[in-house]
Structure 1
């Protein structure tokens, strides 16, 4: 553990180019010329940003989480809020049943999706598969981008629901998709979703679609869910 002593605001500005300081550090008192502020850098990256070719956001974000104790999934594991693997598949099945027995969009468009049970029996991970149908394609004959986006939404949502009833009600806060390759009628497509971070009110998922035969990734996306408390 190293300590950084800052005696005035000018020194703080000068040192800011050499260390990444999480915004959530709160100063209890105003800094004056006679006050020393000791900040724990504890394994935090000190690479000058001016010398970095790319800024690895995920690396710095993970370091901040470890320092500040914001690894929500690990926290929930310790407090037994997350259900065990035996029950997670049952939660997924129950949530999926509600999707396809409703009278809305999901029941009409996702009726040929199947849960890959042997790959979906761990909290935070769901894998589904389907055969591309004509009605799921665009006018060029390829798998429709809107359909892909909807898949990322629904399967990402199921990965959150796999944590149990407490996390079964949620709405979309943000979604983005990258389209990498096409797919045509008759192709078997797998959709793999992982909940990378689970907090009290937000869940963050990553979803990939890939061709079952070639294993090529078709699309990938990130989906943020707001969890409704009840």
Structure 2
């Protein structure tokens, strides 16, 4: 798959959020900004609906971003999206309403049965890492 085809695929996937009535609709304000084969770049502005009770970016929303966007990086490698075997998120810094968050997701290694994926969420203004995540998927 070429870089252009990979980005086109990523944009098509995210376009589905805008019409989804399922859980994926929580990602409807996340926009693809770039990518390549095995790589997905996106960003979103933290909105009120993304906040926890304390006014920070909700951990469950962050985990959903890691889960979904690493999977998108994976499918650009002509790999099926597979099933999550392990998902890990480390929360390093908070984000508040109005902050712009950059998502950088990569398919690190894909094998016959497993794929290893990584993701970072960063504050666009200062570059600080908000969260780091990894995921292992069964892809056979």
User: Could you tell me the TM-score, scaled by structure 1's length?
Assistant: 0.58
Structure with the larger strand share: 2
Give yes or no for the alignment of 1:211 onto 2:123. Answer: yes
Give yes or no for the alignment of 1:169 onto 2:86. Answer: no
Match of 1:159 among 70, 73, 80: 73
* Structure 2 gap ranges (5+): none
CA contact (8 A) 1:95 1:161 kept: no
* Structure 1 gap ranges (5+): 1-82
Q: Distance in 2 between matches of 1:168 and 1:113?
A: 22
User: Could you tell me the TM-score, scaled by structure 2's length?
Assistant: 0.92
CA contact (8 A) 1:91 1:163 kept: no
Q: Which has the higher contact order (CA 8 A, sep 6+)?
A: 2
Deviation, structure 1 residue 216: 0.3
Name the Cα RMSD after superposition: 1.5
**What stretches of structure 1 move > 2 A for 4+ residues in a row?**
93-103
Tell which structure's C-alpha radius of gyration is larger.
1
Which stretch of the first structure deviates more once superposed, 90-99 or 202-211?
A: 90-99
Deviation, structure 1 residue 87: 1.7
Match of 2:61 among 144, 147, 152: 147
